[in-house]
Amino acid sequence: MSRLRHRLATLAVIAIAVLAVAACGSSSGPAITKMDASSAVAALGSSVVIDVRTPSEFAAQHIKGAQNIDVEAGDFGTRIASLDKAGKYLVYCHSGRRSAIAAQQMASAGFKNIIDGGAMADLIAAGAPAQ
């Protein structure tokens, strides 16, 4: 009976170890960081800034230095595929809904350092320069 208990205990330890490794994955941390507007504004200078709204929304006003890649356009996946996956990216939109979608799609595509900046109005209110 003690032999059976020993084997079961060993199997239990192995199972726990496998589950721990699977839960942690091989990444060194989360790919997506959701930041409040003040923290996101502080990260503007060290990030590639992507406005994921439509081109007409972008033309009306956007964060200075941002590039426009519309998350709802059919070519979003193709356009982000040309970006450096090791880079640091800050994405934003009108309300935060599309930036969350874009951040998730980027993470699924292998990007490792994505900041979801949320709503443009919040970023501007926190000091982001607009044009």
The helix, strand and coil proportions of the chain, stated in percent and rounded to the nearest 5, come to 45, 20, 35
Q: Where are the chain's structural domains? A: 28-125
User: Hey, what CATH topology would domain 28-125 get?
Assistant: Oxidized Rhodanese; domain 1 (3.40.250)
Q: 85: exposed, middle or buried (C-beta count within 10 Å: 0-12, 13-18, 19+)?
A: middle
Please provide the size of the chain in residues.
Answer: 131
Q: Residues 60-88: pLDDT tens digits?
A: 999 999 999 999 999 999 999 999 999 99
Nearest residue to 66 via CA among 93, 42, 86:
93
The tokens describing 31, both together, are: 């790919």
Residue 47 scores a pLDDT above 90: yes
pTM for the full model?
A: 0.77
